[in-house]
Amino acid sequence: MCGEALDGIDALDKLSRVRPDLIILDMSMPRMNGVDAARELKHICPNVPVILYTAFADVFRRKQVLPEGVSDVVAKGENLLDRVIQSLQKAY
């Protein structure tokens, strides 16, 4: 099953109806950004990988620490499908 949310709050709401195998969040979303949403989503479904999709991936990579709840960070210029496959391989 696949789902789409408008922002982090909408994603939290839809999680009760959609049980995803993977969650991809944009960093910049209205009402609740991707980092805050990832933290909340990980409490609800701790075994589901969460990818943060952002133009600021280098900032996270320089810190060498991912935000709580984030499994991987993908830059908007990177091949998202390749990174999704890599993340799923690591997770499972």
Q: What is the pLDDT of residues 1-34, one digit of tens each?
A: 578 888 889 988 988 788 888 899 988 888 898 9
Residues of the chain by 3-state class (helix, strand, coil), percent to 5: 40, 15, 45
Residue 69 lies in a domain: yes
Residue range 52-84, pLDDT digits in tens: 888 877 777 777 778 888 888 888 888 889 888
CATH number, domain with residue 52: 3.40.50.2300
| Structural domain harbouring 24 | 8-91
Of 68, 35, 41, whose CA–CA distance to 54 is shortest? 35
Kindly state whether residue 2 falls inside one of the protein's structural domains.
no
Task: Say if 1 falls within a structural domain.
Answer: no
How many domains does the structure of the chain reveal? 1
Residue 78 lies in a domain: yes
Asked if residue 86 belongs to a domain, the reply is: yes
Query: What pTM, to 2 d.p., does this model score?
Result: 0.82
